[in-house]
Structure 1
Amino acid sequence: MSTIADSQLIDFVYQEADLIDTQQLNEWEALFTDDGHYWMPLTHGQTDPILQGSLMYEDKLLLKIRVERFFGKRTFSQQPHTRSHHLLQAPRIVSRDHAAGRYTLRTAFHFVETRQDDQLLLAAWATHELVVVDG
């Protein structure tokens, strides 16, 4: 297995946020492995998405449904579509296992969601657990 450069890992995080911000959600959903999850903990410091409540803990199927609903003509709650903007701090690589093709990155960010004239600003951290597939 080839070694992944730090710059490739960091670029992946920036590109992932850009896919969301430009509403390329099908491409974003395709980044997830079949056993991947999108998890938003309920509380700061939460470590278990199964035994503790979460804002969301979605597998590939639920992500696909979320994307389909976002673009659905009958999804009136998304008329007009919500827009988003991520402002990322430089992603930091916190672990790497080149032999297994597994990498973990942590990124602080500000997220702005705009819907009509309303804006929501969130400050958060994202952890990306990346695995090399087919390569």
Structure 2
Amino acid sequence: MNAPSEQDLIGFVLHEARLIDEQRFDEWLDLFTDDGRYWMPLEYGQTDPVLHNSLFYDDKLLLRIRVERLKGAKTYSQKPKSRCHHVLQTPVVDAMDPDGNRYLTWTPFHYLETRQDEQTLFAGWSRHHLLQVDGTLKMKLKRVDLVNCDSAFGNIQLFM
């Protein structure tokens, strides 16, 4: 099995954001390992998602439930559906460890979520903790750190 190149890792991050923007959530879920997590800390510099509150700390099962809710015909909070748009800076590869099957990227972003006449802009950094599973890159952890993570938020409907 060949180790992924830096361009493969950057391409993964860009593809992942596109799947969210295009609401291809089932394909997005397939990018996670079976024990993968989606984490959005509540405090700047937070190091522990278990002993401290987080905005999100979802395993794959909870992510699947959220996706099914978004697709549901009777999800009235999604009539009309929320939409989003990522603007990413070029992802930076922070770690490439083929022997340990560990790859880490860091990506500054702006993210817009909209529904009806309301638009909400978020800014932050995402970290993708990746590994290869049967020759395919998968997310073990996606961590999303918002610049203003400790602010009061309304409902965040989609995934950053």
Following the alignment from structure 1 to structure 2, what is the Cα–Cα distance between the partners of residues 71 and 80?
Answer: 12
Q: Which structure dedicates a bigger proportion of its chain to helix?
A: 1
Report the CA distance between 1:101 and its aligned residue. Answer: 2.1
* Aligned residue in 2 for 1:94: 94
- Indicate yes or no: 2:22 matched with 1:55: no
Identity %: 55
Could you state the TM-score of these two structures normalised by the residue count of structure 2? 0.83
- CA-based RMSD: 0.7
Following the alignment from structure 1 to structure 2, what is the Cα–Cα distance between the partners of residues 35 and 102?
Answer: 15
Q: Which structure dedicates a bigger proportion of its chain to strand?
A: 2
* Aligned residue in 1 for 2:66: 66
Report the CA distance between 1:100 and its aligned residue. Answer: 2.4
Could you state the TM-score of these two structures normalised by the residue count of structure 1? 0.98
Relative CO higher for 1 or 2, CA cutoff 8 Å, sep ≥ 6? 2
Following the alignment from structure 2 to structure 1, what is the Cα–Cα distance between the partners of residues 111 and 73?
Answer: 26
Following the alignment from structure 1 to structure 2, what is the Cα–Cα distance between the partners of residues 4 and 24?
Answer: 24
Uncovered stretches (5+) of structure 1, i.e. residues with no partner: none
Report the CA distance between 1:117 and its aligned residue. Answer: 1.1
Following the alignment from structure 1 to structure 2, what is the Cα–Cα distance between the partners of residues 3 and 104?
Answer: 13
Report the CA distance between 1:122 and its aligned residue. Answer: 0.5
Uncovered stretches (5+) of structure 2, i.e. residues with no partner: 136-160
* Aligned residue in 2 for 1:120: 120
SS in structure 2 of the partner of residue 64 of structure 1: helix
Task: Give CA-to-partner distance per residue, 1:15-73, whole Å, 9 cap, x none.
Answer: 00000000000100111101100000001111110011000100010010000000101
SS in structure 1 of the partner of residue 16 of structure 2: helix
